Chains A and B, each alone.
Chain A
Amino acid sequence: EAGVAQSPRYKIIEKRQSVAFWCNPISGHATLYWYQQILGQGPKLLIQFQNNGVVDDSQLPKDRFSAERLKGVDSTLKIQPAKLEDSAVYLCASSLEGGAFTEAFFGQGTRLTVV
Chain B
Amino acid sequence: AQSVSQHNHHVILSEAASLELGCNYSYGGTVNLFWYVQYPGQHLQLLLKYFSGDPLVKGIKGFEAEFIKSKFSFNLRKPSVQWSDTAEYFCAVSLSSGTYKYIFGTGTRLKVLA
Contact = CB atoms under 8 A, between A and B. Distances in A.
Interface in A17-65: 33, 35, 40-45, 48, 55-56
A48 B102 CA distance: 10
A43 B43 contact: no
Interface string B13-49: 0000000000000000010101010000011111001
Nearest to B101: A45
A61 B30 CA distance: 29
A33 B103 CA distance: 12
Interface in B72-114: 90, 92, 94-96, 98-107
B100 A99 contact: yes
Q: Is the interface of A mostly helix, strand, loop or mixed?
A: loop
Contacts of A48: 99, 101
Given A3-B43, A109-B43, A42 B99 contact: no
B65 interface: no
Interface residues of A, number: 27
Nearest to B105: A42
Contacts of B106: 40-42
B43 A104 contact: no
Contacts of A44: 104
Contact of B107 (A3, A42, A104, A108): A42
Nearest to B36: A106
Interface of B: 4, 6, 30, 32, 34, 36, 42-46, 49, 51, 90, 92, 94-96, 98-107
Interface of A: 3-4, 33, 35, 40-45, 48, 55-56, 91, 93, 98-109
13 contacts: A35-B104, A42-B90, A42-B92, A42-B106, A45-B101, A55-B99, A56-B98, A93-B44, A98-B100, A99-B100, A100-B94, A104-B102, A106-B44
